[in-house]
Chains A and B, each alone.
Chain A
Amino acid sequence: MSGAEWQLVGFSLRMALASLLLVLPVGLALAWWLARKDWRGKALVETLVSLPLVLPPVVTGLVLLQLFGRRGPVGSWLHNIFNCDVVFTWRAVVIALAAMSLPLFVRAARTAFEEEDVKFEQLARTLGAGEWRVFFTITLPLAKRGVLAGTLLAFARALGEFGATIMVAGNIPGRTTTLPVAIYAAVQNGEDAHAWTLAGVSAVIAFAAVFVSENLLRRRK
Chain B
Amino acid sequence: MNNEIITATFRKQFPGGAEIVVENVCIGGGITVLFGASGSGKTTVLRCLAGLETPDEGEIKFGGEVWFRKSGKRKAKGEDIFLPPRKRGIGFVPQDYALFPHLTVAGNVCYGLNELPAAERAARVLETLNWLGLDGLEHRLPRELSGGQQQRVALARAVVRRPKLLLLDEPLAALDTPTRLRLRGELRQLLRQLGLPTILVTHDRFEALALGDDVVVLHDGRNVQQGAVPEVFSRPVNLAVAEITAVETIQSGQILETRDGLATVAVGDARLIALAGDLPPAAREVYVCIRAEDVILMRADSVQSSPRNRLAATVLALVREGSLVRVNLDCGFPLTALLTQPACEELALQEGTQLVALVKAPQIHLIPFTR
Instruction: Give the B-binding residues of A (Cβ under 8 A).
Output: 119-120, 122-130, 133, 137-138, 141-142
Contact = CB atoms under 8 A, between A and B. Distances in A.
B94 interface: yes
B141 to A, nearest CB: 12
Interface residues of B, number: 23
Interface of B: 50-52, 84-86, 88, 90-92, 94, 96, 98, 100-102, 111-112, 114-115, 157-158, 161
Contacts of A123: 92, 94, 98, 100
A117 B316 CA distance: 50
Contacts of B92: 123, 126
B96 to A, nearest CB: 8
A128 B85 CA distance: 7
A141 B111 CA distance: 14
Residue of B84, B86, B94, B101 ringed by the most chain A CB atoms within 10 A: B86
A130 B161 CA distance: 16
A125 B158 CA distance: 12
**Consensus secondary structure, chain A interface:** helix
B111 A126 contact: no
Contacts, number: 51
Contacts of A122: 52, 85, 98
A122 B92 CA distance: 10
B90 A133 contact: no
B94 A119 contact: yes
A142 B51 CA distance: 23
B85 A126 contact: yes
Contacts of A120: 98, 100-101
Contacts of A126: 50-52, 85-86, 88, 90-92, 158
A219 to B, nearest CB: 15
B93 to A, nearest CB: 9
Nearest to B102: A141
B101 A128 contact: no
Contact of A127 (B96, B101, B102, B112): B112
